[in-house]
Amino acid sequence: MTELPRPARDSWKTSAGFVLALVGSAVGLGNLWRFAYTASTGGGAAFVLVYLLFVFGIGIPILTAELAIGRATGTSPIRALDRIGGPRWRRVGGMFVFAGFAVLSYYSVIMGWVGRVLVDSIRGAIPSDTAGYFAGISTGVGAVLFHLTGIAITALVVQGGIRRGIERAATILMPTLFILLAALAIWSFTLSGAGAGYAFFLRPKLDSLLDGRVIAGAAGQAFFSLSLGMGAIITYASYLQGQQSLPGQAVIVGLGDTSVALLGGLVTFPIVFHFGLADVVLANPSGALFIALPQAFQQLGAAGTLLGAIFFLALYIAAITSAFSMLEVVVSGLIDGWGAPRRRATLLVAVAAALAGIPAALSLDYLSFIDKLVGEALIVLGGVFIAVLTGWVWSRGAAAELTRGFPHPRLQFAWIWLLRTVVPIVLAITFVTTVRQLGPLAEALF
Ligand code: PHE
């Protein structure tokens, strides 16, 4: 009997499927949970402009760099960085894998809250005191159970592989998400008070932009929202085969991600203002989503049950398609590095992330600390390394990979110089500012 050939590495079936999975990774809780709050309190339209500047000036160059590293090496982050930068860069790869794992562990706790509100809206079981309700569901046994469920569903998809798991899920879920959100935005546009909501969200407040923390917040938010600095994009791109235009894809992802962030604000603020709940939003970063909106939906009776279910379903879809990419970072490392079978690797990482997330499901203080430490500081530091690696160490290879199939020397030149100069400097400043805000413990860690 002849031996069967080893199956080749998994890959994306279509370019469209790949882009949908990438947008799925980018569009997540960051867009709907963090963006609206940060923008409305941080300067409205002025914040949005600064944010866009970061997305296109810093985010897209790094996104393109991660795509180039992934496609050129065809392997998971630790091995990928080793291959292009040498063994010293393995540690940076290890930092990415750690970040992916750590973010997954608490991200799925927040996703769990969304799942809980979704289930309770359908059951009509949300009490009128939504602040008390949220305090009850955000920590404790219930939070742990919904966190475990989220990890389990994520693992179920990821164990199916790239083509039959992640790509297939993203191809169904992402269009669904856009339709749900667009429908909600149209509905909330018809509410009285919509104008005040839009104004609250977008009225430019220039003075808040003089605060360095707001600027650093915009950069960190852009970074998190594009799924950068933790190897997620490198990992997804490592399953590419072919000659796609990487800058083109990066721009699609940047535009898709930013439009959903804006759409999220256009959905939420009219509702919040229609029901006179602006104070709730200002009081607490989770206030808009988990306290004000459930209350608003409740006041609408049966229609509210339906609208609430649609909203939280959309949010859950956004979150889980991001969670796929975090889990895949670690799983692909075990497959490529140790030859582990995908199923076993997925199970192992899922169990570990489930356990690691339990503290975040028990303490909100811990959750916000680790979110800032890893979800803001560490990934931005990861970005500095990506910029240095592609701009200085691997610049020739990177430039060639960037424009594989369509030589474009000027684009290569501009991109490499951005990565050499502006990008790492801005990211390093952001990193320092973020760590300073975190206090003595984080300063000691770095
Ligand atoms: N981009 C996702 C969001 O906005 C979060 C994420 C970060 C996903 C890093 C993968 C990697 O919610």
Q: Rounded CA gap, 114 and 171, in Å?
A: 22
Tell me the range of 3-17, 29-43, 196-210, 347-361 where mean pLDDT is highest. Answer: 347-361
323 in contact with ligand 1, CB cutoff 6 A: no
Over 70: is that where the pLDDT of 1 sits? no
30 in contact with ligand 1, CB cutoff 6 A: yes
Over 80: is that where the pLDDT of 247 sits? yes
What is the pLDDT averaged over residues 266-279? 88
The atom number, within ligand 1, closest to the CA of 319 reads: 12
- pLDDT recorded at residue 301: 85
- pLDDT recorded at residue 139: 97
Which residue intervals of 159-205 are DSSP H helices?
161, 168-189, 194-202
Q: Rounded CA gap, 314 and 312, in Å?
A: 5
pLDDT over 90 percentage in the chain? 74
Tokens of 109: 């706790």
440 pLDDT band, cuts 50/70/90, is: confident
pLDDT in tens, 298-314: 888 888 999 999 999 99
For the ranges 41-45, 179-183, 345-349, 380-384, the lowest mean pLDDT is seen at 41-45
- pLDDT recorded at residue 214: 83
- Contact between 401 and 68 under an 8 Å Cβ cutoff? The reply is yes
230 in contact with ligand 1, CB cutoff 6 A: yes
59 in contact with ligand 1, CB cutoff 6 A: no
Residues in the chain: 446
- Contact between 213 and 289 under an 8 Å Cβ cutoff? The reply is no
105 in contact with ligand 1, CB cutoff 6 A: no
438 pLDDT band, cuts 50/70/90, is: confident
322 in contact with ligand 1, CB cutoff 6 A: yes
Best of 227, 230, 233, 330 for a ligand 1 pocket test (most atoms within 8 Å of beta carbon): 227
Sort residue 165 into left (φ over 0), alpha (ψ -120 to 50) or beta.
alpha
Q: Rounded CA gap, 446 and 444, in Å?
A: 6
Best of 23, 25, 110 for a ligand 1 pocket test (most atoms within 8 Å of beta carbon): 25
Over 90: is that where the pLDDT of 208 sits? no
- pLDDT recorded at residue 4: 52
What is the pLDDT averaged over residues 117-135? 93
- pLDDT recorded at residue 406: 83
Residues 6+ positions from 323 with CB-CB distance below 8 Å? 28, 104, 107, 108, 111, 150, 151, 154
Over 80: is that where the pLDDT of 282 sits? no
How far is CA 36 from each of CA 40, 41, 48, 286, 363, rounded to the nearest angstrom? Answer: 6, 8, 10, 10, 23
Over 80: is that where the pLDDT of 435 sits? yes
Nearest to 177 by CA among 20, 19, 14: 20
Residues 6+ positions from 133 with CB-CB distance below 8 Å? 126, 127, 294
The atom number, within ligand 1, closest to the CA of 33 reads: 12
271 in contact with ligand 1, CB cutoff 6 A: no
Q: What is the DSSP string of 38-86?
A: HHHHHTTHHHHHHHHHHIIIIIHHHHHHHHHHHHHH-S-HHHHHHHHH-
Q: Rounded CA gap, 241 and 12, in Å?
A: 8
Distance 408 CA to ligand 1 centre (A): 30
pLDDT in tens, 52-65: 999 999 999 999 99
Over 60: is that where the pLDDT of 5 sits? no
- pLDDT recorded at residue 2: 54
- pLDDT recorded at residue 345: 98
- pLDDT recorded at residue 285: 74
Q: Rounded CA gap, 328 and 342, in Å?
A: 10
Q: Rounded CA gap, 376 and 369, in Å?
A: 10
Over 90: is that where the pLDDT of 253 sits? yes
* Averaged pLDDT score across all residues of the chain: 92
Residues 6+ positions from 168 with CB-CB distance below 8 Å? 17, 160
Over 60: is that where the pLDDT of 7 sits? no
227 in contact with ligand 1, CB cutoff 6 A: yes
What is the pLDDT averaged over residues 417-445? 89
pLDDT in tens, 73-103: 999 999 999 999 999 999 999 999 999 999 9
